[in-house]
């Protein structure tokens, strides 16, 4: 395998605009599948968790980022370019990571917290290979850790939900009770509290990231109990939330039923019901880290953290009536400024939430 130099200490992050610019598209890039000349011999691949590459959420965002990086840098899909392997169960994680490493990909991503143990295991076995783990930390010299301040994006979603609700009753659907989802939950509840303290929030976990039927069942109970806005941080399980909201809206178009997406702008899951989405720019992180590795600056053994200040998280456009939309956007901007300036520190755990004050 081609060995790449492990870089020395790097700054934690670059602004997203800079990151995307650094991966700037060149019209001169050619697809080798059509007989064109390849720009370089760097190759990169990823292993999805059980949510799959088309989960409309976390894995899909990562794959979109990898595709953009590949196309921007003249790579072809497949061995020697950019590719992915899909995991049908957690038993596939180690096998898939090992397969890609043995195929001599220069950088192999493990997408998601659930892959932490597998990345740790294979990185120790394949010491000449470079790996990256999203949403978990692996302290190995040939592994780069990518983390996000999900609580900051979720806080903004909480502000939007609190200002949109008419019943003063909203819901949160989590996938598994792991640190990354606790950050979403804590930030969301803090945002609701900051914008409208009297709002009641139902919190429930499905225990899975790939069970849309569970998401729909939980959403149905929340809406039936009076919630009119529900936010999910549950991967593919959250697809059930959108189905439930859309079904209810179809039955009674006059009823205001809202859902809030996660990771990517999920407006395409139901334009009539999706209020906004808490953005987690996994696509940007994948492009950024891949560029570093391609340039010989792979940050092995380091943790790269993306938050609002780095444009690594944020809030998708708000879909509401004109007057309400203006109020929400103004409030969101105000909180973004406070968070970026350091005036407000958004809680990332339930313990931090207990002591949170937006004043």
Strand 229-233 relative to strand 169-174: parallel, antiparallel, unpaired? parallel
| CA dist list (Å): 270 to 43, 54, 58, 156, 250 | 36, 16, 18, 20, 11
What per-residue confidence (pLDDT) applies to 353? Answer: 97
What per-residue confidence (pLDDT) applies to 57? Answer: 86
Query: What are 183-212's pLDDT values in tens digits?
Result: 999 999 999 999 999 999 999 999 999 999
DSSP 34: G
Q: Digits of tens for pLDDT over the chain (359 positions)?
A: 444 433 333 333 333 344 334 444 333 333 433 334 445 689 999 999 988 899 888 899 999 999 999 999 999 999 999 999 999 999 999 999 999 999 999 999 999 999 999 999 999 999 999 999 999 999 999 999 999 999 999 999 999 999 999 999 999 999 999 999 999 999 999 999 999 999 999 999 999 999 999 999 999 999 999 999 999 999 999 999 999 999 999 999 999 999 999 999 999 999 999 999 999 999 999 999 999 999 999 999 999 999 999 889 999 999 998 989 999 999 999 999 999 999 999 999 999 999 998 77
DSSP 254: T
- Which stretches does DSSP call E strand in the chain? 44-47, 82-85, 107-111, 130-134, 143-148, 169-174, 200-205, 229-233, 258-263, 274-280, 303-306, 313-315
Alpha helices in 40-91 (DSSP H): 58-72
What per-residue confidence (pLDDT) applies to 40? Answer: 67
What per-residue confidence (pLDDT) applies to 178? Answer: 95
Cβ distance 51 to 89 under 8 Å?
no
What per-residue confidence (pLDDT) applies to 118? Answer: 98
What per-residue confidence (pLDDT) applies to 88? Answer: 93
What per-residue confidence (pLDDT) applies to 12? Answer: 35
């Amino acid at each position: 395998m081609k060995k790449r130099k492990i870089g020395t200490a790097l700054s934690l992050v670059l602004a997203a605009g800079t990151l995307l610019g650094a991966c700037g598209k060149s019209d001169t890039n050619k697809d080798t599948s059509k007989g064109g000349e390849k720009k370089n011999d760097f190759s990169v691949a990823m292993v999805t968790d059980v949510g799959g590459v088309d989960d409309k959420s976390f894995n899909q965002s990562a794959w979109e980022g990898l595709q953009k990086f590949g196309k921007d840098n003249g790579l072809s899909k497949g061995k020697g370019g950019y590719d992915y392997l899909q995991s049908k169960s957690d038993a596939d994680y180690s096998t898939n990571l090992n397969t890609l490493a043995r195929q001599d990909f220069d950088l192999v991503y493990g997408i998601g917290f659930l892959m932490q143990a597998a990345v740790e295991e294979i990185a120790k076995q394949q010491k000449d290979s470079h790996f990256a783990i999203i949403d978990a930390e692996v302290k190995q010299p040939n592994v780069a850790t990518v983390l996000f301040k999900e609580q900051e994006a979720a806080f903004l979603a909480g502000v939007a939900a609190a200002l949109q609700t008419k019943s003063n009753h909203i819901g949160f659907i989590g996938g598994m009770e792991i640190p990354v989802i606790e950050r979403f939950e804590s930030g969301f509840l803090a945002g609701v509290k900051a914008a409208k303290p009297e709002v009641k929030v139902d919190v429930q976990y499905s225990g899975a990231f790939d069970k849309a039927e569970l998401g729909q069942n939980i959403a149905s109970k929340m809406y039936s109990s009076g919630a009119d806005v529900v936010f999910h941080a549950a991967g593919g399980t959250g697809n059930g939330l959108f189905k439930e909201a859309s079904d209810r809206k179809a039955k009674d178009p006059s009823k205001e039923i809202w859902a809030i997406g996660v990771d990517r702008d999920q407006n395409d899951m139901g334009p009539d019901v999706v209020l906004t989405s808490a953005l987690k720019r996994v696509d940007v992180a994948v492009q950024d880290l891949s560029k570093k590795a391609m340039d010989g600056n792979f940050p092995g053994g380091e943790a790269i953290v993306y938050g609002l200040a780095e444009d690594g998280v944020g809030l998708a456009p708000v879909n509401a009536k004109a007057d309400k939309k203006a109020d929400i956007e103004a409030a969101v901007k105000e909180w973004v400024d406070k968070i970026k300036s350091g005036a407000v520190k958004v809680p990332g755990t339930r313990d931090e939430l207990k002591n949170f004050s937006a004043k």
